[in-house]
A and B are shown apart, each in its own frame.
Chain A
Amino acid sequence: MVGVKGEMDVYTTPQAKEVMLGLLEKGYHHLVVNLQYAEYLDSTALGMLVGMLKRVREKGGNLRLVAPPARIRRLLEITRLNLIFPIDATEEEATANLNKGGMVS
């Protein structure tokens, strides 16, 4: 479970990427990224999340997004990444869906 708070852009994304790569190295391949408190994501952040999704799926895992605010949901829709990322309303829902092993919500 990874929580994003505030702005994730070209400056701050590398830190988030490092955290997620650390989880992957520890053998976690089912990731939940909570965007409830994210205020801003740019294309660098979206690209990083796509990269992570690719990595975990290669290992048979998945990456689910939780509660993106309306502004971020809009960016996901424009880039059509909402069709690629499973999106859940709550962390509990995401965890339950991960346990089910469902690839798409």
Chain B
Amino acid sequence: MTACTGCHMEMRLPNRPEFVAVARLAVSAVASRMDFDVEAIEDVKVAVGEALNNAIEHGCPTEDGYEMVTLRCELAADELVIIVRDCGDGFDPSSATRQHPHGEVTLTEGGLGMLLIEALMDEVDFTSTPGAGTQVRMVKRRRVTEEC
């Protein structure tokens, strides 16, 4: 079964560590419905987890101890667009810590998430405005398989 082209799904969830697995499962189920192969589903799962991790790290919790993050999936004919939006303080993506994919390997604990997202997805855009939150838009394209 192929999921409906043009549909979208949106969910809002707290930016708390225990909900990251919920987001991963939801998006991997959508990718599965779109007939992505197992490896691509795994890529999407990791990327969504990392986007949520960023929303936890850079988010701006209210007095309840969390903020709501929006996770949106847009289903196109041969690609899945995933948008993760928080309403935190925002940050400058160009200055964000990240490991350089070809640079010297250092014992750095940070910056791995961005590196994974960029490596696993076909297209990634970070939009972050100080005071107005951060949006990560990621696209995974379905690989064309030969038909008999």
Contact A11 B20 (CB under 8 A): yes
A-chain residues with CB within 8 Å of residue B46 when the two chains form the complex: 40, 42, 75
CB contact between A78 and one of B45, B49, B120 (< 8 Å): that residue? B120
Contacts A42-B50, A71-B42: A47 and B109 contacting too (C-beta < 8 A)? Answer: yes
Contacts of A50 in B (CB 8 A): 107-109
- Chain B, interface size: which category? 20 to 34
In the bound complex, residues from chain A placing their C-beta under 8 Å from that of B110 are 47
Are the CB atoms of B107 and A43 closer together than 8 Å?
no
B interface secondary structure, majority: helix
Could you say which of B58-66, B79-87, B111-119, B130-138 contacts chain A?
B111-119
* Chain A count of residues within 8 A CB distance of the other chain: 23
> Which residue of chain A has the shortest Cβ distance to B112 in the bound complex?
A43
Question: Does chain A have a CB within 8 A of B32?
Answer: no
| A contact face: mostly helix, strand, loop, or mixed | helix
CB distance from A31 to the nearest CB of B (A): 15
State which of B20, B49, B99 has its C-beta within 8 Å of the C-beta of A80.
Answer: B99
**A11 and B50 contacting across the interface, CB-CB below 8 Å:** no
A70–B116 CA distance with the chains assembled, in angstroms: 15
Interface residues of A in 27-70 (CB under 8 A from B): 40, 42-44, 46-48, 50-51, 53-54
Is A105 an interface residue, CB under 8 A from the partner?
Answer: no
Contact between A78 and B109, CB atoms less than 8 A apart: no
Q: Does A104 contact B (CB under 8 A)?
A: no
B21 touches which one: A7, A75, A79, A84 (CB < 8 A)?
A: A7
A89 within 8 A of B: no
Q: How far is the CB of A45 from chain B (nearest CB, A)?
A: 10
Closest to B19 in A: A11
**Residue from A7, A10, A79 in contact with B115 in the complex, judged by beta carbons closer than 8 Å:** A79
A47 touches B112 (CB 8 A): yes
Q: Does B27 contact A (CB under 8 A)?
A: no
Instruction: Say how far A33's CB is from chain B's closest CB, in angstroms.
Output: 16
- A84 CA / B105 CA spacing, docked (Å): 8
Q: How far is the CB of A48 from chain B (nearest CB, A)?
A: 7
Q: Which residues of chain A have a CB within 8 Å of any CB of chain B?
A: 7, 9-11, 40, 42-44, 46-48, 50-51, 53-54, 71, 75, 78-81, 83-84
Enumerate the 8 nearest inter-chain pairs by beta-carbon distance, A residue then B residue, closest first.
Answer: A47-B109, A43-B112, A11-B17, A43-B113, A10-B17, A78-B119, A80-B105, A50-B109
